[in-house]
Each structure stands twice: as C-alpha cells, then as structure tokens.
A and B are shown apart, each in its own frame.
Chain A
Amino acid sequence: MSTAVRTEDPALLAATPRRLSSNQSGSDKVFVVLSRTVGATVLAITGGIGFFLALQAFPTLRRYGLSFFTETQWQPEADVIGIASVLVGTATVALVAMTVAFPLALAMALFIVEYAPARLRSSLVALVDLMAAVPSIIYGLWGFFLLQPHASNVAHWLQTYAGFLPFFRVDADAHAAMWEQSRYTASAFVAGLAVAMMAMPMACAVMRQVFSQTPLGEREAALALGSTRWGMIRTVVLPFGRGGIIGGTMLGMGRALGETIAVVLIISPSFDLKFRPLEVGTNTVSALIAGRFGEASPSQLSALLTAGFVLFLITLVVNTFAALIVANSRSGAGTDI
C-alpha cells in the first residue's frame, strides 16, 4: 500500500507554511502614493482644461442656441456670433491638406519600406521625423514667401482648365489679359499646402510602421508566385496596412485641423460660407481665435472658448477613431485575407 494515513505529529506542526503577505514595504507605499498623486495631479490639470472648456460652452450655447453652429458671421458688436463659416473653412483647409498629404505620405512610406536601398532607409526615416519636428511657423514662412507665388499660378491654371468643377471656381475672370493674381492668393488652397507639410510626416510615420510589419512570408509568397513588386505591394502590403493607412491619415488630419500659425500667416480672414479653396479669403477656428482673442470681452471669450472646444471635440473624435483603427488593424495576426 503506497498511501499512508498521516497521523498528527507534534513535530510537524512547527512547519506550517509561512503566512504570505501582500503588504507593501514602507518605501513601496510611498512610491505608490506619490505616483498616484502625480497621476491625479495630471488628471486634474488635463481633465480640468477639458471640463473648463465644456463649462464655457454653456453660457454661449444658452445665449445663441443652435444658431451658434449655423450662423456664418462673427460680429460680436452686432451680437451675431456663429462658427458655420469657420468650421467649413477649417474643413476646407484640412481637406486640401489631406488631399496633398495623403498621396505623398503613402508614396513616401512605400518608398521607405519597399523601394529605398537598405542603407538609405534609416536616414529617410530620420528625414520624415525631422519634418515632423520642424516648427509650424517655419512652414508658414515657406508657404507664404516661397510657395504662394507658385501656388497662385497653379490655382489660376486649375481655374482656367478645370473651372467647370464647382470647387475650382474663383470669382475672377480666368481669361483676362492680366489675370488678378491677388484673387488667387491667401486662400485655403495655399494654407492647405503649408498644413500638408505638417500633416504628411505624422501620416507617413504611422503608415511606414504598419507597412514594415507586413509578414515577410506573405511578401515572399507573392514574389515567388511571380508577382511584380507593385503586384506584391497591391496584394499584400496595402491590404495588410489598410488600418495604418486610414488611421495615419486621420491622425494627420487631427494635426491639420488644429494648425494655427501657418494658417494665420497665409490666409486673409473672411467669413463667407463657401467651398472655393482656390479663392482668396477663408477662416479657420484656430485662426479665428488667434485673430479675435485680443479685443474680446469675457462673454466673447467664452464664445471663442466654445469654438475652441468644438474644434477640440472634432480633433478628439478624429484622433480616437484613428487610434481605434490602427489598434484594430491586422498587425501580424496571422494570415486572414
């Protein structure tokens, strides 16, 4: 018989297992409390800002109601305040920026991952990171002084040859002997080009990261089946990186929506509700704040803060969706097509 009934042995009683305790030592308690305090402080600061902004929205919305979102003019002296035109302007600038930045970011990401020689790759990555670090005011100078003369030529060209499209319309005669260059400057188009320089690196960085995670086996399988390099990119890399492409583009758009100083430098403010990016004059929420905060009374300030809060909410939604899409994309999770 291999089992034995264990009898009570007084000698064994002393060997009861040690009491395990999850009590922390003193220094650990201090550490936890301290870091929790820091976390709570940061939560209070950052959350406080959001709460404060939300709080500011109440008096404004109670005063102007829904017309705050539908009114195009911003005339505090006439008690007419609305953000419809600046919202449209913000969207226009962001749209122009992403129209330019998206193909460039995609091309740059694909070039870095697929086409560039291996020894160039890390310097190209650094180049894109550097583009993200260049201050926005530098891009503003670039857009205003270097790009604007050329961009107005492009705008005039677009109007001349594609003016039948509603969004290429400009309120000026394209075929005049001396075309009015000033009608084509300081527009959402030029501002969008400068903002594209800021949005592009963010989008490109996300795309590059996702593309470089494409499973090597699938790449080589496509190539071994006789695919060309572009065929491999189209059937393996791009489907794999779809989440990164969408998410990166949205992250870039989040940056483009909030950009201030480059836009302020370039545009000439106007409050028309229009979608004519090539034409002079537009306005964005951030440019509105930068232009109007100085002479604002407290109630106007809370209106500006409300506009800022709306912008923040839009950016937040865009960024959250972007993060969700990137997180849920298929990053090395096997082979499901």
Chain B
Amino acid sequence: MTTVTPTLTITPTRERSRPGADESPRTWVRSLEDLPATAEPQRRRTLSTSTAQDRMVVLGSLVSAPALAWLVCFRLLPWGTVLAFALTGFVLFLAIVTVTTAALTPGPAVADRLAAALITGGAALVGIALVSTVVFTFARGAAVLPHLNTFTQDMAGVGPRDPLDRGGVLHAIVGSLIQVGIAIVVTVPLALGTAVFMTEVGGRFARVVRTVVEAMTALPSIVAGLFIYTVLLLQLGVPRSGFAAAMALSVMMLPIIARAADVVLRVVPGGLREASLALGASRWRTVWHVVLPTARPGLATALILGIARGIGETSPVLLTSGASSFLVVNPFIGSMNSLPLFIFSAVRSGEPVYIQRGFAAAVILLAIVLILFVVARRLARPANGR
C-alpha cells in the first residue's frame, strides 16, 4: 500500500501525461480525506443533442429564409404564388443552414445539419399533405353537413342544381353499408379459415394456397371489378346490383384480409400451441381456445383495415353496382349507389352544388374510415403494450 502525495488529487490521466510523474505508481487507493475541501458537489451534466449555437443557427435561418424567399418570389422574379414562396423558402432555408454551419463548424456537422433539415422537411411535407387532404375535404363539405336532410334523404327527384336543403346521400350511405356488410359476411369466414388452414394445418397444399393468395393481393381492384362484371353480370346474367358490387369487393378484399390474418397468426408463439397440445387439448381446441384468442387484437386490426380498404374502393363498385339516385335496400334487385361511387359521379357532373354534395359524401366516407381506423388502433393496443 503506497501513500499518495498531496499533489496526486488530480485525475490519473492528467497525472500520467505529466513528464515528471513517471516514478509514481499507476494504481493507488485514494482516501476520501485527500479530496480537496473546496470540491464542488458533482452535478449531472445536461445531455442534449443540440447546442445553443445549433439552435440559434436554425432560428436565424427560419427567420431569414422566408424574408429572402419573399424578396425573390414577390420582388425579383415573377413567381408570385404561395407554393413558389414555400418551395423557395425551403430551398433557401437549406442553403442558409448549410452556409452558416459550414462557417461555424467542421465538415461532418454540415452534412449532419443539412440531412436533419431535409429529413425533417420531408416529414413535415408528408404531414402537411395528409392534414391538407383531411382539412380540404372537410372544408369543402362543411357547407352541406349542417343540412340534416343530407343524412335522412336520398336524391330521388332531386335535380343536380337543386338547393342543398333538398336531397341527401342516405342512399349512398346505406348502399355502402349493405355492400360492405355482404362482403364482410362472405370474406371474413373464408379469409380467417384460410389463414387458420395455412398456419395451423400446413402441408404442401397449404403452401400452394399461401402462394396463390399472396399473388392475388397484387390483383388491381379494377381488374377484380372487371372479372365480376364479365363473369357475374355478362355470363351469368346477374343484374347490376348491390350483390354484384359486394361480390367484386369480396374478390378484392379476400386475399388482402387472408394474407394479413396469416401474418398475424404466424407470430403467435409456438410455445403456446405446444403447451396446449401437451395438456392434452386437441388441435381444434388449441386453435379455438389458444391461437385465435391470442391473436385477437391483431386479427381485429387486419379485418378492420381490410374493411376500411373495401369501403373506400371505388373501381370495383363503378363496374358492377350501377348508380341509383334513390334508396335501395334489397341488394339483389336494382342498382344500388354507394359512397365512393356517389362522390365519383358527383364531382364528375361539373355542377357546383352537386360537387358540394360529393364533398359531403367524401366527409362521411372519411369519417367512417377514421372511426374504423381508431377502433382498429384501440383493439391493437394490448398487443403493442408488451
């Protein structure tokens, strides 16, 4: 045990670098009393990914870029639109950040700041795009929604130029719900059964089924509609109806939901299945009491997102359902309107009032999809909360 001279209260690294300290031992035990009485109580350093200088650079660029962009767009060059202003502003912002950082810090930091600005800008653009989509749809449809007859009346006997307090989109809402309802009744048992077959039974035949189902998810929805149109409507003579539209939607949704459910079932831990089998349960009971309950949140999400996809799909419906202007409840007789189809025909009509109705239908459709989405997120949460 060596004693320590009073000068050795400094850190070992600095000690070793001192030329005169070669003869001192490399390790030692330092007694607490050796600490200088004036030592500050150690404080945690605050960790931060950015320095004050970084923040000032960003702040300064945020101020100067719009100013310069205004000068460029509205005073120097004939680009006087809001979009040009925003784009020029962003490019100038990148340039100013780059130049300022290059003047203050070495090379790698410049690339880092530029990349951060670009990536944040890209993400912001995505956010703006989504928000503008939702807000724009709601804003254009807002004038119609206070007229409650929008939800309670159909367009029977209502001309395209009639005021908004006559007529509504009830027939489209009901039509959409009926068509998607039939599609759900058809696809969900088939898709779930197929997913169970592919994961729980297996074998060579299951691999064939999986390959074909995965391939068919690539089927463009319009081709699914054209298939039903050719086979069901032209060759089998089924009239244009809600049922035909529901079949087209089913053909489109079946591979999507089956594949999503397959993915969900595949991540159920094998240990759970084996535990159930080891307790003497049959395969059927294992699936029913262990596998499906475990995968329930994921399955619900897969189903709901598939349904959301189906309710918003226009092209299969466009080919198969026909578009009535009045409420039709029987899916087998007579053409039946639906929300996407109503929106499509409304905005193509060119009549301003009718286009407004189309936007109101779009708001309703968007609201339905949003509700389905929120429900799906809620159901999926327990699985994420691990």
> Residues of A with Cβ closer than 8 Å to B?
24-25, 27-28, 30-32, 34-36, 38-43, 45-47, 49-50, 52-53, 56, 103-104, 106-108, 110-112, 114-116, 122, 124, 126-131, 133-139, 141-142, 144-146, 150, 153-154, 157, 197, 200, 204, 227-231, 233-234, 254, 257-261, 265, 286, 289-290, 293, 298, 301, 304-305, 308-309, 311-312, 315-316, 318-320, 323
* Complex contact A320–B219 (CB within 8 A): no
Query: When chains A and B are docked, how far (Å) is the Cα of A217 from the Cα of B189?
Result: 44
B369 and A258 form a contact (CB under 8 A) = no
Contact with A along B212-252 (1 / 0, CB 8 A): 11111111111110110111001000000000000000010
Partner of B216, one of A49, A293, A311: A49
Indicate if the CB atoms of B309 and A133 lie closer than 8 Å: yes
- Closest residue of chain A to B192 (Cβ to Cβ) is A38
User: What are 13 A-to-B residue pairs whose CB atoms are below 8 Å?
Assistant: A39-B205, A43-B208, A108-B123, A112-B123, A115-B116, A134-B133, A135-B311, A135-B312, A230-B108, A258-B223, A261-B344, A286-B315, A320-B218
Q: Using Cβ atoms and an 8 Å threshold, which residues of chain A touch B366?
A: 134-135, 138
- CB <8 Å contact, B227 and A53: yes
Residues on A with beta carbons closer than 8 Å to the beta carbon of B109: 228
Interface centre among A28, A136, A258, A261 (most CB of B within 10 A): A261
Question: Which of B12-20, B162-170, B194-202 contacts its partner?
Answer: B194-202
Q: Which of A39, A146, A233 contacts B132 (CB 8 A)?
A: A146
Binds A, one of B55-63, B76-84, B153-161, B325-333: B76-84
Known: A133-B369, A157-B84. A254 touches B137 (CB 8 A): no
New A-B contacts (14) at CB < 8 Å, excluding given A32-B201, A133-B373? A35-B197, A39-B193, A46-B216, A50-B212, A129-B305, A135-B312, A135-B340, A141-B137, A153-B84, A157-B79, A231-B111, A261-B318, A290-B319, A301-B234
Interface residues of B (CB under 8 A from A): 49, 79, 81, 83-84, 108-109, 111-112, 114-116, 118-123, 125-127, 129-130, 132-134, 136-137, 140, 189-191, 193-194, 196-198, 200-201, 205-206, 208-209, 212-224, 226-227, 229-231, 234, 251, 254-255, 258, 282-285, 287, 305, 308-309, 311-315, 318-319, 340, 343-344, 347-348, 358-359, 362, 365-366, 369-370, 372-373, 377, 384
Residues of B within 8 A of A56 (CB): 230
Contact residues of B: prevailing secondary structure: helix
A318 cross-chain contacts in B, Cβ below 8 A: 218
Distance in Å: Cβ of A332 to nearest Cβ of chain B: 15
A38, A110, A319: most-surrounded residue (chain B CB, <10 A): A38
Residues A31 and B308 in contact, CB atoms below 8 Å apart: no
Q: Which residues on the B side are within 8 Å of A129 (C-beta)?
A: 305, 373
